[in-house]
Amino acid sequence: MNHLPVPAVLTVVATAFLAASPAAIAAPDDFIGSYDVKYEEAMNNCSNVGMSLARGTLTLDRKKAKVEVNLDSLPTMMGPPPKAGRLRASSKQGPTTIAGLDGQFSLAGRVEAGAVQFVLVAEYFANKKPLCQQSWNVSGVKRAR
**Mean residue pLDDT across the chain:** 85
Between 81 and 1, where is the model more confident? Answer: 81
Exposure on the CB side of residue 127, measured as CA atoms within 13 A: 0
pLDDT in tens, 84-117: 999 999 999 999 888 889 999 999 999 999 999 9
Residue range of the domain that includes 44 = 28-142
> How confident is the model over 54-66, as a mean pLDDT?
95
How many distinct structural domains can be found in the chain? 1
> What CATH number is attached to the domain comprising 83?
2.40.128.120
Quickly count: other Cβ atoms within 10 Å of residue 95's Cβ: 11
- Report if residue 112 sits inside a domain: yes
In angstroms, the CA 65 to CA 51 distance is: 31
> How confident is the model over 23-35, as a mean pLDDT?
71
Whether the predicted model's global pTM rises above the 0.85 cut: no
